[in-house]
Amino acid sequence: MLRFIDLFAGIGGFRMGMEQAGHRCAGYVEIDKYARRSYEAVYDTEGEWSAADIRCVSAGELRAIGRIDCFCGGFPCQTFSIAGRRSGFEDTRGTLFFEIARLAQSIRPPLLFLENVKGLLSHGGGGV
């Protein structure tokens, strides 16, 4: 069983799959208050660590949770997607990708399970 943190949790798509596969959520991050309400209505989040804004999450907070095997996340992808404007890092939403990298560099979870966005790796000539 993996213990995971659900980043950019939305209403819990990643969590649903991870729990159906037998894994356990240790906490979640979601900034949208309506998505958080939905998430908390669907899942038993009592006693779980949570935060609203990933930019305010410290590595120390995550270490205090205990073992974390995986970061899951559907980070805002509109800015990279071939279906979007492709503004990349010029759009604030695009810079949130670096928040995952910041926390992963400190925590070093064995697994990163992130949304695959067509256009992410080719953005800006592939220099991402």
Active-site pick, 25, 70, 72, 77: 77
Q: How far apart are CA 81 and CA 122, in angstroms?
A: 10
Six-digit token string for 121: 């790796």
Query: Which tens digits make up the pLDDT trace of 29-52?
Result: 999 999 999 999 999 999 999 999
CB atoms under 10 Å from CB of 15, counted, come to 21
Q: How far apart are CA 58 and CA 80, in angstroms?
A: 26
Binned at pLDDT 50, 70 and 90, residue 73 comes out as confident
Six-digit token string for 105: 């560099």
For residue 111, give the H/E element and its range: strand 111-114
Q: Is pLDDT at 94 greater than 90 in this prediction?
A: no
The question of whether 70 is a catalytic residue gets the answer no
Going along the chain from its start, the domains and CATH numbers come out as 3-126 (3.40.50.150)
